[in-house]
Amino acid sequence: MTNILKGLKPQSVLNYFEQISQIPRGSGNEKAISDFLCNFAKKLNLEYIQDENLNVIIKKQASKGYENCPGVILQGHMDMVCEKNKSSNHDFLKDPIKLRVDGDMIYATDTTLGADDGIAVAYVMAILADNTIKHPALEVLLTTDEEAGMTGAMNLDTNQLSGKYLINLDSEEEGYILVGCAGGNRNCISLPLEFTTSDKQGMLIEVKGLLGGHSGSEIDKNHANSNKLMGRILHLLNIEYDLVSVNGGLKQNAIPRECDAIIAINHDDLDKFNANISEIQKIFNHEYKASDPNIKIEVSKASYDRVLTDSCKDKVIKILNLIPNGIQTMCADISGLVESSTNIGVVKTKDNVMLFESATRSSVATRKDDINNKIKLLAQCFEAGYEETDSYPEWERATDSKLEQISIDVYKKLTGKEPKILTIHAGLECGLFLKKMQGCEAISIGPNAYDVHTPNEHISISSIENTWKYLLSLLENLNQY
């Protein structure tokens, strides 16, 4: 281990965060981190459960004087989104995350940091290892595959849990107590491809320099979506051309930052093509001058084997331009809250099919159904396949929640400030658990994290410490209620 975070506070938390940063743990690749957590529990002589989905539950008895308090479930997820800069050679299957510190912030180098939700893992490890911390009976729950579909939480047997209060540690703003979130699902249009030959000059078009971001919590920032921009480019080109492929984005739940397409043009149209691209560049720079000031369209020569038929090319361009994307509705009764949205996160040309993969979210289930139906109808219009997967429920704010009131009181006593109570547009696992666990109450808290799901992801060290103090105070004061 490199000890990049040595000497920073809270030392125990950051030490564990650095340890888990050495373990590859992208969604679907959680065996190593799951086993690591089980071995950690074993060394502490704590009861633990590892289920067939690699979810881990670790149990710790109540501190003296807390035996009669309601049990607490501390919950986060062990997987992370694996995004990197195109120039990076990082292998998420085997390489550790390279941490670096810049002032009050912890970054990775050219990749996502994994603070979403590695900081939760670090918090709970530090609590489990420290016998001086006062707390009720604890059940630490760390799930798998949260970022790719929440299948860990979906398949969890909640009969293994008895806690009444669930504290989720997957939020990204200090001073906010989350009490509700959107539900969502993934969907995919699969367009069968037909090919022909061409003797034109191959050209690679690359859209890059976008900021991207979390497709839930940052969908309201008007960041450009590289896949949608590519659709516009292909529509706006004022020359005859053939289309070879389109590939953009890595994750459905991340606003895509890069997209490339290979086209084939007549040699005589090269100057006109370059002029077209220059004009489109100006359009994008004007539209996104505030939200994505570094948008670039780059072109270069490319080779290819075959091109799409004109009919197939037409379908691709129309799907890219017509597929819903971004905010669909705003909440009528909570000012500034996005009610429903969708993100065309991935487009890829794969053998004889082109895939258009989206993540849809809504705090109102019927709005989510409406968006899904529009995408399904679009697929039907172009004789394409449609699949809907990984549906998870919304988390509705509970009325008269005792845990919510306790968390407010403790925050006010600790900081002298009023916390902000919010429901959010991002998806959390709380809705899944509460559907299964009658009588359980939940909140979600976390430190300030920025640009999650992007290689610029970073987290505030001072906020990690502030949230740590709040979490410990919350646990310690539960015996007063």
Catalytic residues: 79, 146
Nearest to 163 by CA among 77, 38, 66: 66
Q: What is the token pair recorded at 126?
A: 């530090």
- Neighbouring-strand partners of residue 141: 57, 75
Site of tokens 């890595």: 250
User: 300 φ, ψ to 5°?
Assistant: -160, 165
342 contacts 325 by C-beta, under 8 angstroms? yes
**C-alpha 25 chain-centroid distance:** 14
Q: What is the token pair recorded at 150?
A: 């929440």
Cα–Cα distances (Å) from 192 to 317, 323, 339, 349, 374, in that order, read 14, 17, 33, 10, 19
Residue 10: cis peptide before it, omega within 30 degrees of 0? yes
How many Å is the Cα radius of gyration of the chain? 24
User: 248 φ, ψ to 5°?
Assistant: -155, 145
